[in-house]
Chains A and B, each alone.
Chain A
Amino acid sequence: MLRHALGRLLGVLPTLLMLITVAFFLMRVAPGGPFDSEKALPPEIEANLNAKYHLDESLAQQYFRYLGQIAVLDFGPSFQYKDWTVNELIAQGFPVSLTVGLLAMTLAFGVGTLLGITAALRQNTGVDYSLMGLAMLGISIPNFVIAPLLILLLAVYAGWLPAGGWDGGFASMVLPVVTLSLPVTAYVARLTRGSMIEVLNSNFIRTARAKGLPEIVVIRRHALKPALLPVISFMGPATAGMISGSVVIERIFSIPGLGSYFVQGALNRDYTLVMGVVVFYGVLIIILNFIVDLIYAWLNPKIRYDEKR
């Protein structure tokens, strides 16, 4: 188990380096620079600025300089928010994004698995068909369509919830969290249903039933864990999906999270800010995937056993 963990940990380093490299050069390939704006700056000021942020060095120099900084977890100063470092901006925005993200994940996996199990236990009934129909809708309608719809219905017409903004209160969280979690909830529901049905048809469930255990015990003790394993391994990709979703959601609902900074930074060619968010989220996704992997291995006696040998 420990060896498994260490091996995996070493394995992520090249991934991380690749992520940084690709993001770094993609950003530079895009036309425009951080100090382009309508009114042109006097050349000597621009030269000064470029020198201050090392933009006058060769791309390779800048790249290695950046790697060196990141190694000590310093994302550098923001180009756009003059008095802020990227670290400070992340510290500001991330708690907001994290709150929304965690709530959305909890909602998606909690409700998604419950719906999936319900559909599986009522397989081929009206309940099953309507749940899966809804799930199909949830998967196929994109965030940026659901969000305005919900805003119209619940904020504008009904007036129950604010249409946007962020005050850290419950009411301002409902719409963004629900919007963000909907597609994942729908996917988790379908995934859970499928794997639960497969498990319920397996021979070992038949054995458990032959023992005369009540069906509820059969499901809880024998079916739940294997049915949820694929759902657990979906948590990694789901996190990544939620992070990209949050960029859109935070814009739509005007939430001051990392996603908003990211979009702002990209529009302004704020190289360090964009890079900072990319690297930060990249590391986060990798760490979460790693944790999910460990949970999976820990739940699966076969992997545990192979590691013991």
Chain B
Amino acid sequence: MDLNDTPEQAAYREKVRAWLEANKLQAPPRSGSSEDGAYIASRRAWQRRLAEAGLAGVTWPREYGGQGLGPIEQVTVNQEISRADVPGILDVIGIGMLGPCLIAHGTEEQKSRYLGPMLHGDEVWCQLFSEPGAGSDLAAVQTRALRNGDRGWMLSGQKVWTTNAQFASFGLLLARTDPDVPKHKGLTMFIVPMDADGVSVRGLRQISGEAEFNEVFLDNVPLDEDAVVGGVGNGWATALTVLMFERLTIGFGSENFGSPARLSELIASDRAARQDAEVRRRLGHVITELLAVRFNGYRALTMLARGQIPGTEAGLAKVTMVNSAVVATDLAADVIGPEALDADSDWSYLISFLPGLKSAGGTEQILRNTIGERVLGLPAEPRLDKGMPFSELRAKEREAVAP
């Protein structure tokens, strides 16, 4: 049991810290509007600098421009970036989830074409998975990819909740290539250039008023044969790789969503709140939960460093993290009063963001189903879609709700 750095880890931390110290004046502010082109450009430039310094794609293999280091070094970098009070990489979805999927399932040509520009922020990526009719039940996607004569594919359909699509260069898209087999079987993963003919992006305003995610319409978008990732009909397995990395990205290292230090500072400096038993009780509970997230994060990190994948534990961490962040921001706003909801307050963005975060990356109900079945071995949920060709399933569903 040891939370301290080994001498090598300490040396690595020192190196990272020194670089950040020397370069932090060039960093853009930690937050800004995702609709502000100049701000996004500054974040891309900063990601490029981080990448050149070896602080992006820390765990990516060296041959693809990464550092070939372990999860512990990645966490060290995250810690030092947050200590330096500078923003991290812009393209968390690309580098954390989609790049690793390309590394696992992509062809050599795809890897050498896409990974470098992704790492350096020259080309930002988005995840084109969810649709109006397929979120939790992701395998129900209806976006169709049809053979386009003898060259490539033609894509039609609609994606939704696509974070960063407004400035992304590419998207990784899950589409149906065969509706006549059961739904998990007829899927294929594609790389879609966001500037291709027939792609249009429309921002969706979130609770905060900002539009960080989008609807993406695909109207006869032509794709080359080499747009396929991981093989035709193998889209579900490819998607699962992304979802695994998504859980790791969201589940751990995110204790800070609850802003425990900021919350404690707020209450410590408000005399009446500090002495109020109820405020203290709420604070004590939420700090307890956030500490648990932090130390379970260390347990998971130990597993990762040993080559094990703490996938389901990450799901529990996400549930705790999101719920305690909600409790923490509620408490902060109760202490401050209506002023906390002012657009310029430190808390209002988080207060608006968290309700959606409950759904992003797997809703609490879905995570609990998965954990109940995979970790506790409980019997599966009843389902009516097993083994049925997707084309018939849609008809059955319509039948079920017909008056």
Say if A and B assemble together: no
Residues on B lying within 8 angstroms of A by beta carbon are none
Residues on A lying within 8 angstroms of B by beta carbon are none
